Every structure is written in structure tokens, then in C-alpha cells.
Structure 1
Amino acid sequence: MIDEVRQRFGSKAAITDAGDIEPWLTDWRGRYHGKAGAILAPASTAEVAEIVNLAAQCRVPLVPQGGNTSMVGGATPPPDGSALILSLRRMSAIRSISAEHNVAVAEAGVILAHLHEQAAAVGRRFPLTLGARGSCTIGGLVSTNAGGTQVLRFGTMRSLIAGLEAVLPDGSIHDGLSGLKKDNRGYSLDQLLIGAEGTLGIVTAASLRLVPAVHSRAVGWAGVRDPGAALALLRDFEARTDAIEGFELVPGDSLALVLKHVPSTRPPLEKPHSWNVLIEATSATAELDPVELLQTLLAKAIETKLVEDAMVASSEAQAEALWKIRDSISEAERSEGPSTAHDISVAVADMPQFLLNSKVEVERAFPGAVASAFGHLGDGNLHFHVRAGSRAASDWIEREGPAITQLVDDLVTQAGGSISAEHGIGQMKRTELERLAPPGDLAALKAIKRALDPLGIMNPGKLL
């Protein structure tokens, strides 16, 4: 199959040098390692379709890969070398971008930061961002239904997709790029492919919704007594304005780790607080001054005791410095030592109490460990991490990680939440999904997989 791909599409379409393949065999976190005889790198949707056809004929599984930034091992090939990597990185064109229609058509290999730049050039923006924006790709964002820091206002990737182009497991091409607002011709293939982690087909391009560019923004930091006060603050802001775009919860211990391990970071407030929130307000016009708005809102919140102390960035550099704190939490935790990471969601109204209760439960069950959560409080998605603390040992993750994960996932399930809010299932959470998903839901997922991919060649070992 490798020889056939090279013969049809040239040497760039089949990479077999071990040194070139090696960086793409391990996941971003370094927890999963695979083998692959080649990286296949098509340059067009037609080439993807031919490769998938060949894969079906030869019964060779394919592992689609973009920026390889999966947090759950979703783009790592199996360790037995039975699959080939299908890289979409050569398909990096923005086919069209229109300020008039507020739509960009981007191929799967387009890096998110590049799309941001191109949208800004026409006075628009794509309102989804995350820490890996400099390397993650559109195909991966679609396939994991990525979230990020702007979900509060604009929703997940699913909300921002007007239509998809994809190659299905039989080699046929699904063209849904027209982005019709009304289309009732039965099941939506687009919606099936979003969040499917490449197990139902290969996303090759997407029509993406754009919004007006930000004219100005304000970024603030507030210290609060507990998560309940943070949620009350958000609800108060929402009642007064629709300009709030980001609202991130940062516990005091996470802030302390960033200040300890990440150079050039500084405490936003004079005194430490048990809990903090990072807030961003934006305006698309000159009619609203978000700095003045946020200053007024925070001043009122201090008067009503919702906020203990607060500040608003006085410059763009200071605003970026505040976001650097939030974006550096995972990096700081890795510097501190091993931890287990859980990407969870619970109903927003239940999240404050869930955070406090689950911290107590985990730390009681694993004395010496430290449970801490940060992230997108406004949409009920937090990153619940358990650090080794005084239990640290070289094999801590292997020895105690599974039991910690089961406890956290049980607490989330009991609260009616989800064990995967925005990272997907990949390899990491597959066993837990099997253990905790409602039987009817799991049976339906498996039936869809069997129907669309009867040969099982689409990203084997992921999700199901």
C-alpha cells in the first residue's frame, strides 16, 4: 500500500524515514507510544479518498493526525505497527474567506492561529481559541468538538461549523460545505463526524462561522472567597451585559504553582486569595468601552462583597500576562510533579458544590494528594487535576492513577456530568466510557461505528 501511494502521488505522500516518523508516534502528554511503517500525507481531498479506498482494499487501518495535540492519545497509532498514520498537514489551504458571508472554508491541516490571522485580515475572527492554537489544526478541532476559553459566548466547535467535507470509510466524499441553514434530508453526517475522533471518516475541510473582529477588550482578575461566589459573580455580570466572553476559575494553589515555576509571571493582586477568576469583556464597536464596563462591574461586585479584590489590565501586555497565568497552569503542574488530569463537565449550577465536595472525597481517599480544578466555570467544564503531593513516587501515576480516575469519574457520573467535556475519549478514557456510559447509548455508538466503518479501518482503538 505504501508503494502504491508513493507511485500515485509522489514521494511527499509517503514518508518512511524512521527519523521523520518518530516525532509523530507519541502523544502530546508522552503517555502513549505507537509504531507506523509510514506517514501518508495526501495533498487533496481526492488523494485522501484514493488512500482510503486503498486502505479498504488492503485492510490497513488509518490513524488521522493533524497537529498531534490530543490530550487523550486520540491521534497515536497502535503499538503493534498495524496501522499507518494519515497526516492532513499538507492540506493547509484556506479555500475562501468572506467578511460578507461571515464564513471561512478551511482545510483540515490549517493551523488555528493561521485561521485567526486570515480572519483578522478581513475584519473578522474565528471565536475559538485554546493554548495549542499555534499547532492544533482545524481537522482535529472538528474531530474532537474542541471547546476552549470562548465557549461561554460562542459555544464549542459544533456551534461554529456551518458544514463539512469528509472522506467516508468506503472512500466516498461527503460534501456538506454549502452550509445551508435549513436542510432536512435525514440524518446529519456533519453532526456525526463532529466529535467522532476520526472513527467514522476523515474530515478534509470545514465551513466555519466568523464573527466581527474585536474592536477593544478588557481583561480583569478578581479574588473571590469560593466557587459559589465566582458563579454568583458570573450571573450578576450576565444580567448586566452580554459583553462577557471569558470567565475562567483559577484556584489559589494553581496560581501559586504558576508563580513558582513559570518565569516572568507576577501575582495579579496584592494579596493571595483562595479562588480567583479571570474575566474578559469585548466589544465589536467603539460605542462600548469594555475597560470602563469591567471596572464598573467589578467595583459594584466589591461593594456587594461578591469580590474581595480586583484589577483590570491597563495595557494589552498586562492583559496577555493575565492570560499567560491561566494558560500556564498545566505547564506549572508538570513542573511540580506527576498528576492525573480529568476533563470533566457538570451542570453549571451544580459545579461550585461539586468542586468542594469532590476535593474532600478525593483527598480523603488518597491522603497527601492534592485535588484542584481550574477552567471554564461558565460552561460547566473544569480541568480536575489530582497532584501527587506528599504521595509522590516515580511510579505514582501507574500505581494510583487508575483508582483516582475511577473515583473522580464516579463522582462526576453521580452528579449527572460527563467524564469528557472537550478533550474527547481517545485511548485514555475508552475503558471508563465502557464502564460508565448508559448501555443504550453505548450500543448506539457501536452500531453507528459498525454501520459506517464495517472493516474497522478508521482510527482503531479510539473512542470504542
Structure 2
Amino acid sequence: MPSNFLTQLQSMTESHGLLFGENTAPYCLDQRRRFQGQALAVARPKSTEQLVELVKLCAEHHIAMVPQGGNTSLCGAATPDSSGHSLIIAFERMNQFIEVDADNNTITVDAGVTLQQVQTAALAANRLFPANWGAAASCQIGGALATNAGGVNVLRYGNMRELTLGLEVVLADGTIWHGLRGLRKDNTGYDLKQLFVGAEGTLGLISRAVLRLYPLPTAHATALIDVDSPAVAVELLRDLQAKVGDRVTSFELISRPCLDLLKRHFPELQQPFSPSPAWCVLLELSDGGNSEQLISQLAEILFDAGFSNAYVAQNQRQAQDFWRLRERIPEAQRIEGVSIKHDISIPVGDIPRFLTECQNELIQQYPDANIVAFGHLGDGNLHYNLFLTEKTALIYQFELAINAIVYRLVAQYNGSISAEHGIGQLKKQSLSQYRTATELLMMRSIKQALDPQQLMNPGKVLLDLNQQID
């Protein structure tokens, strides 16, 4: 154990900011309980200045740093390896700074501020911060930026990348890059902030961010619609966008196995369909003005399009009930048991063909497969998960073979093996297979330039830099 490093670490960090031994356990296990590691300690800085001191000390002693922002990663991006030689840097105490600029429609926050806190601060200023997903109460902005997180409103507002105007980043040598600019136009050379959004802490540690805000919508219309097939869902999406434009805020596709899981594990949730349809769409429109008018317009569009089994929420409570169905799907899957999960993106028009072809191949190889498909159809992002009902205890033995089928078809349709969850540890081998040698070389060159000692979240995103690129 590097006793000199730990002695200096303790001297610069107040006792409640540094954790050792069994107190580090919650930080060493990922949310899905797939990855477990060990760490020298967990450091919890309260400011950028403390963070700089930590990074400089780690660089001096060649200690790897694993940043962690809420520990909600689904790919093991915030979990250390098993060596016990790294320092976890948790951002939970860097949560003091929140500044809203209503005139500029921006909010500037510390990296440890949670998504829910940002949403609440924006609402207090009569503004909207549109990023929204299930872990809003626990995920932190630094982690959301590091994975370029998405959510249900990406269709209209974009991922975290599109919601970010400026960053403050502590680089691998402890230098601060001061990029906290709230500008929508800044054409002075390379857009450096984009290097760090989605990099999962492998290039530098995000300490603060300037994020976009939007006018707060006053009108909402939500509907849950029985659709015959994903192809019909795509047609509905295009029809809606032609008629109401970017007021289509969310457009979610949900398969019958999702509804079956909800009935089994959350029977108290009311489902309007009986029997459950093969596919349904949950959508929301938002705008200024009056909700009653928007609800009436949506109902008229659905009626004219021939959707006889469609439920348009007549009030906020009904809308929340519809959204609760979508939000509880991941939890229902967790209760059901272990599954092979895929977070993929496909060009929207190709999704129906992908779903048919992928299911046919998987069922042919695994007749007991139960495919739970759902996700953000509007932006082409599917959560495509597979249970093996007769082999649940052994399912990870089949993971590589299942992934090979899914990812081959994703590549065939020019899609991506990671839409919003990142790469982390889980997909770094697959990344090396589904990105070109030129792309990987460019990524490695950037990594080498910004982190020459390879101390920033090693073992994530990219394979070992010494490994040859095929």
C-alpha cells in the first residue's frame, strides 16, 4: 500500500471527506451488481480546489483515479478494478453551487448536483431543464455528462451533449480548463467541451457545467395508444411531426412482454388495455398555451388516423399514471431476474425491420427467449433485453453469443451498440469490434494526449492502449 500517498491524502482531506475499509464498499459495487472492485480509499472533495489537490497528488504518485457521480452507471463505468490500487473520487459533496441566469436561459452547477436538483432550480425560475430519466434523484450532473445521458425528452431537446454550453474540467495533471461559457455561438477553434461529454471520466474530471434551460411549457397532452406494429408506430410519429412539429416531446415504444412484467410485479398499476396489445406507444406533446386545446388536437389527430384503441389523458393524474407504466419497466425487469441488456440505436425507419429480424434469429437459437423491447422510438434508441426462461441461472454464459447476434444486426443497419448508457467496462471489447481502426486510433491519440500516465478512469471505454488494433 502506498503509505506516503495515503499520509499526504489524509493531511489534505478532512476526516469526513475520506473513507477507508468497509466504508468504501458501496462505492466499489455497481448499480447492476455486475462489477465489484476494490479501492485504496474514497475521496469526497467539496470544491474544485480540493479536487485539483487530489488530482495533483494522484499524478505525483501515479495513482489511478475513478470518478463517481451517483454510482448509477449501467456499464460499470464508475467501478474500480479488483487491484485495490485506485482512488475513487466521489462528487457527492461538490453540490453547493447552483446559479440560474433566467435572461440567458442557463443554469451553472457543481458536478455533484443531482438531476432532480437542477430540475427543481429551473422550475423555481419558471424554466425547464428537459433531461429526464428514472434515476433523477440520485444521478449527478457530472456523471450524466460523462456518459452523455439521454432519457425520454431527447427527441425534442437532445442528449446531455446538446444541453451543455460550457464546462470546467480538471485535467490529468491538475490543470483546470476554464470553459464555463454560457454561449450558444462560440466559433473560436475546436469545441473542447465535447471531448469530455461522453468520455466517462477517461480524459478529465468535470467539476462544473453550464447547461441550457428552456421556457417552461404550460400545455401538455399525453396518450397511450395500441399500435399494430412498430411500423405503424413509425408512421404515427411521422404524421404527428408533420402536423404539430417539435411539440412531439416524447415518443416511447412498449412491447407486450413489458406490460406482462408490469402486471406480474406491479398489479396495482392500472393498464387501460385488455387484453394487452402486442405494441403500444406512449407519447407526449408540450407547448405554451392551453392544455385543453392541445389535448383536443391530439385526440382529433389520433381519431382521424384510425386509432380506435387510444387513451388520451384528460388531466395530469391520468398522464402520470401512463408515465408510471413506462418508468416501472426497468424495475419490473430487475424483479423478474437477470437478463442480457442492450442499449442500442437504429435509424428510426429501420427499427421495425431490425425488431423482426433480431427476434427471428434469437428465437431460432434460443427458443425459450423472452424479449423485452421498449424505449425511445422517437430518437431511435431501443432498450432490447432478453430473458432465458429455462436458463436464468446460466444466462451470462450465453451473453457473448447473444450480443453477437444483436450487435451484428445493429451494425448492419448502421446503428450503435451504445445509445445513452455509455461503454464503461461492459462494452469496451465490443467497441473495439464495431468502431473502425481509424476511429479507435483517433480516440487513443486523444487519450494519450490528455492522459499520458493513463490515470483517468483506466480500464473504461478503450482497451489497454498497448493492445494492438486489429
**Cross-structure match for 1:221:** 224
Residue equivalent to 1:394: 393
* Deviation at residue 312 of structure 1 after TM alignment: 1.2
1:375 corresponds to: 375
Question: 1:300 matched to which residue of 2?
Answer: 304
Deviations 1:240-283 (A, max 9, x none): 10321110000112111112112421212243211000011112
SS of residue matched to 1:298:
helix
Q: Quick one: distance in 2 between partners of 1:424 and 1:276?
A: 27
Q: 2-side partners of 1:249 and 1:94: how far apart?
A: 37
Gaps of 5+ in 1: none
Counterpart mapping for 1:27-38 below 5 A:
27-38=30-41
**CA–CA distance in structure 1, aligned partners of residues 385 and 406 of structure 2:** 10
Is residue 269–residue 310 contact of structure 1 (8 Å, CA) maintained in 2?
no
1:265 aligned to 253, 265, 269, which one? 269
1:224–1:395 Cα change, 3 Å = same
Q: CA deviation at 1:111?
A: 0.6
- Provide the C-alpha distance between the structure 2 equivalents of 1:287 and 1:215, rounded to a whole number of angstroms: 7
Residue 433 of structure 1: which of 431, 434, 452 is its match? Answer: 431
Q: Matched residues in 1 for 2:71 and 2:294: separation?
A: 36
1:460 is aligned to 458
C-alpha contact 2:94 2:110 (8 A) present in aligned 1:
yes
Correspondence list, 1:322-337, <5 A = 322-337=322-337
Indicate conservation of the 8 Å contact 1:268/1:322, yes or no: no
What's the CA shift for 1:409?
A: 1.1
Task: Name the SS of the counterpart of 2:32 in structure 1.
Answer: coil
TM-score (norm 1): 0.96
Superimposed CA distance per residue, residues 196-236 of structure 1 (whole angstroms, 9 cap, x where no aligned partner): 00000000011000001121312110000000000000100
Give the aligned partner of residue 201 of structure 1. 204
- The DSSP-based 3-state class of the residue aligned with 1:394 is helix
- Cα distance between partner residues in 2 of 1:3 and 1:43: 19
Residue identity (%): 41
- The CA distance in 1 between the partners of 2:44 and 2:90, in whole Å, is 5
Q: Which whole-Å deviations, capped at 9, do the CAs of 1:60-116 have from their partners, x for residues lacking one?
A: 000000110001000001111111100111111243102211000011000101111
Instruction: Identify which of 61, 68, 71 aligns with 1:68.
Output: 71
Instruction: Give the alignment's Cα RMSD to 1 decimal.
Output: 1.4
Structure 2 counterpart of 1:107, one-letter code: D
After TM superposition, the score normalised by the length of structure 2 is: 0.94
2:82 is the alignment partner of 1:79: yes
Q: Secondary structure at the match of 1:241?
A: helix
1:9 maps to: 13
- For the residues of structure 2 that align with 1:134 and 1:256, how far apart are their CA atoms? 27
Q: In the TM superposition, what is the alpha-carbon distance from 1:321 to its structure 2 partner?
A: 1.5
Residue 123 (str. 1) matches residue 157 (str. 2): no
Structure 1 stretches of 4+ moved >6 Å:
none
1:444 is aligned to 442
User: In the TM superposition, what are the counterparts of 1:305-320 in structure 2 within 5 Å?
Assistant: 307-320=307-320
Q: Measure how far apart 1:186 and its partner are.
A: 2.6
Counterpart for residue 346 of structure 1: 346
Distance in 2 between residues matched to 1:13 and 1:280, nearest whole Å: 43
Q: Do 1:283 and 1:289's aligned partners in 2 also have CA atoms closer than 8 Å? A: no
Q: Distance in 2 between matches of 1:82 and 1:225?
A: 54
Q: Give the C-alpha shift of residue 308 in structure 1.
A: 4.6
- Code of the residue aligned with 1:461 in structure 2: it is G
Q: Is there any run of 5+ residues in structure 2 with no aligned partner, and where?
A: 463-470
Q: Which residues in structure 2 correspond to 1:19-34 (within 5 Å)?
A: 19-34=22-37
Distance apart, 1:27 and its partner CA: 0.6
> Is the Cα–Cα contact under 8 Å of residues 107 and 204 in structure 1 kept in the other structure?
yes
Aligned length: 457
Question: Secondary structure of 2:10's partner?
Answer: helix
